Structure formats: structure tokens, C-alpha cells
Amino acid sequence: MARLLRNLLLFIVRVTLKIRVLGFWALVYSYCAFYTCIVLLKLLCSIIRRPLKTLQWVIRENPPACLNDTSLGTHCYVRIKESGLRFHYVAAGERGKPLMLFLHGFPEFWFSWRHQLREFKSEFRVVAVDMRGYGESDIPAGREHYRLEYLVTDVKDIVEYLGYNRCYLVGHDWGGMIAWLFAIHYPEMVNKLIVLNCPHPTVFTDYALRHPSQLMKSSYFFFFQLPRFPEFMFTINDFKAIKYLFTSQTTGIGRKGCRLTSEDMEAYMFVFSQPGALTGPLNYYRNAFSFLPLKQQEVKSPVLLLWGERDAFLEQEMAEISRLYIKNHFRLNIISGASHWLQQDQPDIVNTLIWTFLKEGESRKNYRN
């Protein structure tokens, strides 16, 4: 009788789990369909009002001068033997100094760390990478090449091929997600972890499923699951969507003096207007659900989490909940008036907070390799 009852309970648990999984994917595709309908309506209205302008975009042939600014560092390339991929990065600071590695988000590239490259090169070997599928790094075809385990392994390979076995890891947005995962899976390779506007991966998934307001803010995740159509939507009106993300009152950089200049915006337009330049980045989203649930969740490295109060995409409560998964020192700083694009919006404050975190427990002049 006891054995029969146990088997019945196991059956109920398995069925419940399958129902939850099916319910999750039903929710994903329902949101995808809903968001797609809204986008199609907006596209139709735009075509009716401005048909020629809507379907017009320009491929930028030459990079703006700011991308070759020598004060930011030297452009370098590394080819990883295991994956065969070539990665582009910009590096500054003396070789042999402790490595500070920067991972950007979407839709960004190495240039989003320009303020930090200048700031930290005095004490570190600073390296800002064009991640897989971005900028001058290789763009492998097929969404299967953008699974999160590959993106995490890229970081490990880059650190090792730069001649290091440890680093100070800094990530924003998608780069923050990968930085969290790297610190979880390779704790011995992270001296300290610094994340900007990205909660712990488990927090994000659990919170979004329980809070409809966050699910609505993340609805673009579901729209990006579609093939080709999201890429097309980014190109219309000469990449207006990308310009809107960085400049609008709702989502853009709000601080006067730190807003993107016309040359800065041209840098983004140059990178993302190239043929095929959007598919790699969007494939990150198309694999966003492939790593759930996490088998490992604890972060053993000291963690600094910086959060822009005006983040239009992520709710602030997730930042506080993230501390539950940190088994070491955790510091959270909410930056008043700052947008999602934190390191570009409030570079002076961000840099000061990073310095403070780096100096905690060790001398600024005596970092561990």
C-alpha cells in the first residue's frame, strides 16, 4: 500500500511538472503572438503614413572617428582554437596588470564601456570585448551557436588566451547575465563580480513569471523568438528603434552631458547597419530559455550590483532579491535618476562606486592576479 501511494505521489509530481512546463511555453508563445500583433499594427500605421521613409535604411560604409580614438585603447583580435571564432576587443593599460574584462549588453558593443576604459586603465589591463555575434567579432550562423553555455565558455577562453587565470568581471544587461553565469560556473576565475542592471538569472525568471508588470516589460523577449521579422523591424525608418532605445524620454539616457552625441550614435548605426549584424545579437534572446532551470545558483565571488532607478525594462525589486544567491560580500547601489544604460548615463558615479568596491578588503595598489 505504501509503495502504491509513493508511486502515485511520484506520478502526480511528474504530471504537475509537465503541466508547469507546458504552461510556461504556452505563455511564451501567447505573449509572442500578442506582441507580434501590436508590432504589426504599428508597422502598418507607419507604412500608411510614411511608406518610403518606413522602408528605407542606410548601411554605413565608414566608421566614425570615435571608434578609432586611441585614448580608449588598442584594437586587438584573438582566435579561440576550440570554437574557431575570432573575437575583437579593445584593450588599454599595461600588460601584466590585473585583468578587468567588460561584457556589453544589447544593442551595444565594446564602445559602451568607453568611460570605464579610460578610468581603470591606470591600475588594470582593461579589455572590452565585442561578444560573439557583435561588431567585429565573428558571427556564426544559426541560433544553436548562441546557447548560453557557449557564451559562458567564450569568456573563459578569452580570459585564458589573454594570459590570465582570474579577472575582475564587469557585465551590463546581457553581458551581466553571462557574467552572473560565468561566476556561478567558474568561481575560481572571478576575483570580484560587478554587474550593472541585470538581476541574478534565477531571480529574473522567477520574478517575471510571478509579476505581470515585469512580464509586460519583458514582452520583447517573446517577440524576438520569431525568425527574421525582428531584424526587419529594427531596420525600418533607418534603425529608428535603436535610436529610440538610447534617446527617448522613456528608455533613453536622461542625464544632460552624458547623452549620446551624434557621433556616438553614428558608431552604433555603423555597427548595427552592417548586413547580418542584428541576427547574432537577437539569437541571444532566441536561446534565453534554454538554460532554465539553473542547476547551480550560488555566487561565491564578492558582488557589486549597480542599478539605474529609471530602468524601463527591469523592476528594481529584482536587484534586492539577488542577494539571496550571493554567498560572499554583496553590495547594492541604486543610482537615482539613471536609466538602463547605466555606465553611459552616469559614468562618474559608476566609476566611483566600482573603485570603492575594488578597494574593499584590498589595497588599490595591490590587486591579486
Look at residue 215 and give its three-state secondary structure.
helix
123: its cell numbers: 591600475
The CA R_g of the chain, rounded to the nearest whole Å, is 21
Cβ-contact 167, 100 below 8 angstroms = yes
β-pair partners for 92:
126
Residue 35 to residues 191, 217, 220, 252, 315: CA-CA distances in angstroms? 41, 11, 7, 21, 20
Alpha carbons 298 and 320: distance in angstroms, whole number? 15
148: its cell numbers: 548560453
Set 104, 145, 200, 340: catalytic member? 340
Q: Please indicate whether residue 244 is annotated as part of the active site.
A: no
Cβ-contact 128, 158 below 8 angstroms = no
What single letter denotes the amino acid at residue 129?
V
To the nearest 10°, the Cα dihedral for 154, 362, 71, 96?
-60
285: its cell numbers: 534572446
What single letter denotes the amino acid at residue 195?
V
User: DSSP E strands: which ranges in 15-103?
Assistant: 74-79, 86-92, 99-103
Residue 304 to residues 159, 191, 200, 358: CA-CA distances in angstroms? 20, 12, 12, 9
Alpha carbons 291 and 346: distance in angstroms, whole number? 32
Residue 309 to residues 251, 303, 321: CA-CA distances in angstroms? 12, 19, 15
Cβ-contact 22, 14 below 8 angstroms = no
Alpha carbons 130 and 92: distance in angstroms, whole number? 15
Look at residue 303 and give its three-state secondary structure.
strand
Set 173, 264, 311, 345: catalytic member? 173
Q: Please indicate whether residue 173 is annotated as part of the active site.
A: yes
Alpha carbons 245 and 182: distance in angstroms, whole number? 27
Set 89, 146, 284, 285: catalytic member? 285
- The residues annotated with a catalytic role in the active site are 173, 285, 340
